[in-house]
Amino acid sequence: MASSIDFYWDIGSTNAYFALHLLRPLAERYKATVRFRPFNLGYVFRHHNYRLMEEPPIKLSNRRRDLARWAARHNLPFRLPDEFPIKTSRALRGSLVMREHGLEEQYLDALFSAYWENNDATIADYAGLRRIVSALAVDPEAFETACDSAEVRNALVESTNNGLAIGVFGVPTFVIDGEMYWGKDRFEFIEAHLAGEPALPPEVGG
Protein backbone atom coordinates (compact mmCIF):
# COMPACT_ATOMS: atom_id res chain seq x y z
CA MET A 1 0.00 0.00 0.00
CA ALA A 2 1.36 3.43 -0.96
CA SER A 3 2.38 5.72 1.89
CA SER A 4 1.55 9.34 2.56
CA ILE A 5 4.41 11.70 3.37
CA ASP A 6 3.71 14.74 5.51
CA PHE A 7 6.27 17.37 4.46
CA TYR A 8 6.68 20.18 6.99
CA TRP A 9 8.16 23.24 5.28
CA ASP A 10 8.81 26.95 5.55
CA ILE A 11 9.97 29.16 2.66
CA GLY A 12 12.62 30.61 4.99
CA SER A 13 14.54 27.31 5.07
CA THR A 14 17.37 26.69 2.61
CA ASN A 15 17.10 22.98 3.27
CA ALA A 16 13.37 22.97 2.52
CA TYR A 17 14.24 24.28 -0.97
CA PHE A 18 16.38 21.23 -1.68
CA ALA A 19 13.90 18.89 -0.01
CA LEU A 20 11.08 20.13 -2.23
CA HIS A 21 13.06 19.14 -5.32
CA LEU A 22 14.41 15.84 -3.99
CA LEU A 23 11.27 14.50 -2.33
CA ARG A 24 8.83 14.49 -5.22
CA PRO A 25 10.74 12.17 -7.59
CA LEU A 26 11.12 9.74 -4.72
CA ALA A 27 7.43 9.94 -3.86
CA GLU A 28 6.54 9.37 -7.50
CA ARG A 29 8.81 6.33 -7.69
CA TYR A 30 7.06 4.71 -4.73
CA LYS A 31 3.60 6.08 -5.56
CA ALA A 32 3.47 7.96 -2.27
CA THR A 33 1.32 11.02 -1.70
CA VAL A 34 3.02 14.19 -0.46
CA ARG A 35 0.96 16.30 1.91
CA PHE A 36 2.41 19.78 2.34
CA ARG A 37 2.30 21.05 5.92
CA PRO A 38 3.22 24.74 6.37
CA PHE A 39 5.20 25.18 9.59
CA ASN A 40 5.88 28.67 10.91
CA LEU A 41 9.57 28.57 11.81
CA GLY A 42 9.59 32.14 13.13
CA TYR A 43 7.03 31.17 15.75
CA VAL A 44 8.83 27.90 16.52
CA PHE A 45 12.22 29.62 16.90
CA ARG A 46 10.66 32.04 19.38
CA HIS A 47 9.02 29.09 21.13
CA HIS A 48 12.44 27.45 21.58
CA ASN A 49 14.32 30.75 22.15
CA TYR A 50 16.53 30.05 19.11
CA ARG A 51 18.15 32.92 17.18
CA LEU A 52 18.96 31.92 13.63
CA MET A 53 21.78 34.33 12.79
CA GLU A 54 23.58 34.11 16.14
CA GLU A 55 25.50 30.97 15.22
CA PRO A 56 29.32 31.13 15.03
CA PRO A 57 30.52 32.89 11.82
CA ILE A 58 32.70 29.90 10.89
CA LYS A 59 29.61 27.67 10.94
CA LEU A 60 27.63 30.11 8.79
CA SER A 61 30.51 30.28 6.31
CA ASN A 62 30.72 26.51 6.07
CA ARG A 63 26.97 26.31 5.55
CA ARG A 64 27.27 28.58 2.50
CA ARG A 65 29.86 26.30 0.94
CA ASP A 66 27.83 23.22 1.76
CA LEU A 67 24.71 24.68 0.14
CA ALA A 68 26.73 25.41 -2.99
CA ARG A 69 27.83 21.76 -3.04
CA TRP A 70 24.21 20.59 -2.82
CA ALA A 71 23.16 22.91 -5.62
CA ALA A 72 25.98 21.69 -7.87
CA ARG A 73 25.41 18.04 -6.98
CA HIS A 74 21.73 18.18 -7.91
CA ASN A 75 22.04 20.72 -10.74
CA LEU A 76 19.71 23.24 -9.10
CA PRO A 77 19.90 27.02 -9.72
CA PHE A 78 20.04 27.82 -5.99
CA ARG A 79 21.51 31.10 -4.76
CA LEU A 80 21.46 32.77 -1.38
CA PRO A 81 19.17 35.80 -1.48
CA ASP A 82 20.47 39.21 -0.52
CA GLU A 83 17.75 39.62 2.09
CA PHE A 84 17.72 36.84 4.66
CA PRO A 85 15.92 35.99 6.84
CA ILE A 86 12.47 37.27 5.90
CA LYS A 87 9.04 37.11 7.49
CA THR A 88 7.27 34.07 6.05
CA SER A 89 3.81 33.95 7.61
CA ARG A 90 2.02 35.54 4.63
CA ALA A 91 3.63 33.12 2.19
CA LEU A 92 2.75 30.20 4.45
CA ARG A 93 -0.87 31.28 4.72
CA GLY A 94 -0.88 31.72 0.96
CA SER A 95 -0.19 28.02 0.50
CA LEU A 96 -3.36 27.18 2.42
CA VAL A 97 -5.38 29.52 0.23
CA MET A 98 -3.89 28.04 -2.94
CA ARG A 99 -4.69 24.54 -1.64
CA GLU A 100 -8.34 25.49 -1.91
CA HIS A 101 -7.74 26.35 -5.59
CA GLY A 102 -6.00 23.01 -6.22
CA LEU A 103 -2.74 24.90 -6.88
CA GLU A 104 -0.76 24.36 -3.69
CA GLU A 105 2.18 22.55 -5.28
CA GLN A 106 2.41 24.97 -8.20
CA TYR A 107 2.40 27.84 -5.72
CA LEU A 108 5.24 26.25 -3.73
CA ASP A 109 7.28 25.76 -6.90
CA ALA A 110 6.90 29.42 -7.84
CA LEU A 111 7.48 30.61 -4.27
CA PHE A 112 10.71 28.68 -3.72
CA SER A 113 11.97 29.59 -7.18
CA ALA A 114 11.32 33.29 -6.59
CA TYR A 115 13.19 33.44 -3.29
CA TRP A 116 15.92 30.81 -3.53
CA GLU A 117 16.72 31.10 -7.23
CA ASN A 118 15.72 34.62 -8.30
CA ASN A 119 16.64 36.64 -5.20
CA ASP A 120 13.09 37.95 -4.82
CA ALA A 121 12.46 38.85 -1.19
CA THR A 122 9.19 40.59 -2.08
CA ILE A 123 7.47 37.25 -1.48
CA ALA A 124 7.54 38.20 2.21
CA ASP A 125 4.79 40.67 1.36
CA TYR A 126 1.63 40.58 -0.68
CA ALA A 127 3.25 42.62 -3.46
CA GLY A 128 5.39 39.62 -4.41
CA LEU A 129 2.78 36.98 -3.62
CA ARG A 130 0.18 38.71 -5.77
CA ARG A 131 2.46 38.36 -8.80
CA ILE A 132 2.84 34.64 -8.15
CA VAL A 133 -0.86 33.92 -7.79
CA SER A 134 -1.75 36.11 -10.76
CA ALA A 135 0.55 33.97 -12.90
CA LEU A 136 -1.44 30.97 -11.66
CA ALA A 137 -4.69 32.63 -12.76
CA VAL A 138 -5.93 33.34 -9.22
CA ASP A 139 -7.43 36.72 -8.41
CA PRO A 140 -4.79 38.50 -6.27
CA GLU A 141 -7.25 40.62 -4.33
CA ALA A 142 -9.35 37.62 -3.36
CA PHE A 143 -6.14 35.76 -2.49
CA GLU A 144 -4.96 38.51 -0.14
CA THR A 145 -8.36 38.78 1.52
CA ALA A 146 -8.40 35.02 2.11
CA CYS A 147 -4.85 35.04 3.49
CA ASP A 148 -5.82 37.62 6.09
CA SER A 149 -9.00 35.84 7.12
CA ALA A 150 -9.32 34.44 10.62
CA GLU A 151 -9.97 31.01 9.14
CA VAL A 152 -6.66 30.85 7.26
CA ARG A 153 -4.68 32.48 10.08
CA ASN A 154 -6.02 29.84 12.46
CA ALA A 155 -5.29 27.08 9.95
CA LEU A 156 -1.61 28.05 9.88
CA VAL A 157 -1.49 28.13 13.69
CA GLU A 158 -3.12 24.71 13.74
CA SER A 159 -0.72 23.27 11.15
CA THR A 160 2.27 24.55 13.12
CA ASN A 161 0.93 23.42 16.49
CA ASN A 162 0.06 19.99 15.10
CA GLY A 163 3.68 19.65 14.03
CA LEU A 164 4.96 20.74 17.43
CA ALA A 165 2.61 18.27 19.12
CA ILE A 166 4.20 15.32 17.31
CA GLY A 167 7.75 16.54 17.86
CA VAL A 168 8.55 18.55 14.74
CA PHE A 169 11.21 21.10 15.69
CA GLY A 170 12.50 22.28 12.32
CA VAL A 171 12.17 21.92 8.59
CA PRO A 172 12.30 20.07 6.37
CA THR A 173 10.67 17.32 8.38
CA PHE A 174 9.00 14.29 6.84
CA VAL A 175 6.55 12.04 8.67
CA ILE A 176 5.72 8.63 7.17
CA ASP A 177 3.55 6.11 9.02
CA GLY A 178 4.29 7.94 12.26
CA GLU A 179 8.07 7.86 11.73
CA MET A 180 9.84 11.23 11.59
CA TYR A 181 12.84 12.19 9.44
CA TRP A 182 14.46 15.61 9.73
CA GLY A 183 16.72 17.26 7.20
CA LYS A 184 17.46 17.21 3.48
CA ASP A 185 20.07 14.49 4.00
CA ARG A 186 17.62 11.84 5.23
CA PHE A 187 16.42 10.62 1.86
CA GLU A 188 18.36 7.38 2.10
CA PHE A 189 16.28 6.47 5.15
CA ILE A 190 13.08 7.79 3.61
CA GLU A 191 13.57 5.66 0.53
CA ALA A 192 14.25 2.59 2.67
CA HIS A 193 11.01 3.26 4.56
CA LEU A 194 9.05 3.63 1.33
CA ALA A 195 10.60 0.41 0.07
CA GLY A 196 9.23 -1.44 3.09
CA GLU A 197 12.33 -1.74 5.25
CA PRO A 198 11.85 -1.28 9.02
CA ALA A 199 12.51 2.27 10.21
CA LEU A 200 14.84 0.91 12.92
CA PRO A 201 16.51 -2.46 13.50
CA PRO A 202 14.49 -4.52 16.02
CA GLU A 203 17.13 -4.23 18.72
CA VAL A 204 16.93 -0.43 18.79
CA GLY A 205 13.26 0.02 17.91
CA GLY A 206 10.66 0.79 20.46
> Hey, is 84 helix, strand or coil?
coil
Per-residue buried b or exposed e for 37-71, using 16+ beta carbons within 10 Å of the residue's own CB: bbbbbbbbbeeeeeeeeeeeeeeeeeeeeebeebb
Range of the domain at 15: 4-194
**CA-CA distance, 157 to 40, in Å (whole number)?**
8
The answer to whether residue 130 sits within a structural domain is yes
The answer to whether residue 42 sits within a structural domain is yes
The answer to whether residue 12 sits within a structural domain is yes
The answer to whether residue 166 sits within a structural domain is yes
pLDDT of residue 61: 79
Q: What is the pTM of this model?
A: 0.91
The answer to whether residue 178 sits within a structural domain is yes
What backbone torsions phi and psi does residue 40 show, to the nearest 5 degrees? Answer: -75, 95
* Cα 131 to Cα 12, 122, 127, 141, 201, distances in angstroms: 19, 10, 7, 11, 49
User: Burial level of 79, CB count in 10 A (0-12/13-18/19+)?
Assistant: middle
The answer to whether residue 63 sits within a structural domain is yes
pLDDT of residue 43: 85
Strands, sheet with 179-182, edge to edge from the N-terminal-most edge strand: 33-38, 4-9, 173-176, 179-182
Report the CATH number that the domain containing residue 123 is assigned in CATH. Answer: 3.40.30.10
What are the mean pLDDT values of the chain's consecutive 10-residue runs (206 residues total)? 88 97 96 97 73 68 91 97 96 98 98 98 98 98 98 98 95 96 96 90 59
The count of domains in the chain is 1
The answer to whether residue 54 sits within a structural domain is yes
pLDDT of residue 35: 98
Q: Which residue type occupies 197? A: E
pLDDT of residue 141: 98
The answer to whether residue 27 sits within a structural domain is yes
